[in-house]
Copies of this chain bind each other. A is one copy, B any other.
Amino acid sequence: MIHSEGFRSLGRQECLRLLAEVPVGRVVYTRQALPAVQPVGFVPDTDSSVVLCTSAASGLVRAVDGVVVAFEADAFDAGSRSGWSVVVTGRAAVVTDPAEHERLLRTGPRSWVPTHDGVFVRIEAEMVTGRELVGLPGPG
């Protein structure tokens, strides 16, 4: 579907496929009543949720555990002014099940910063939206 705003909406499966193409996304949440955003390494998991790895002591974990957040990933090409963006919205929760934690240690995301207290945070893909920009002539 082409919107009047000039982008194409992406279906859920197309969105989940695109998420697997990039290593970093951004968690969007509320911190001290202000909008907040932090880039994190992630992997899409088998049940179409998104899993992050971060420090247990980080403010991010305290702020998002148990609450609904948005998670965004994208890729753009400035030359052709084209690209895509996918947003997953759903509840975030620290992975506490030991077997699940063990599985993610083997197959899950690695933190991009050195951490000795890494925890996995799963974001359920309750709502998945995406848009594609098909490219525009550049300025001038």
Size band of the interface chain A makes with B: 35 or more
Q: Which residue of B lies closest to A64 (CB)?
A: B35
Main secondary structure of the interface of A (DSSP, over half): strand
CB <8 Å contact, A37 and B87: yes
Closest chain B residue to A111, Cβ basis: B6
> Using an 8 Å CB-CB cutoff, how does the interface string of A30-65 with B read, 1 for contact, 0 for none?
100011111100000000000000010110000000
A38 to chain B minimum Cβ distance, whole angstroms, is 7
Q: Assembly of this chain: how many copies?
A: 2
* A26 interface contact, C-beta 8 A: yes
A24 to B85 alpha-carbon distance, docked (Å): 11
Q: Is the CB of A70 within 8 A of B34?
A: yes
Partner of A30, one of B35, B111, B136: B35
The reply to whether B23 and A78 contact each other, CB–CB distance below 8 Å, is yes
Q: A112-B133, A113-B7, A136-B112 are in contact. Are A34 and B76 (CB under 8 A)?
A: no
Task: Give A residues with C-beta under 8 Å from B.
Answer: 4-7, 23-24, 26, 28-30, 34-39, 55, 57-58, 68-70, 72, 74, 76, 78, 81, 83, 85, 87, 89, 110-115, 133, 136, 139
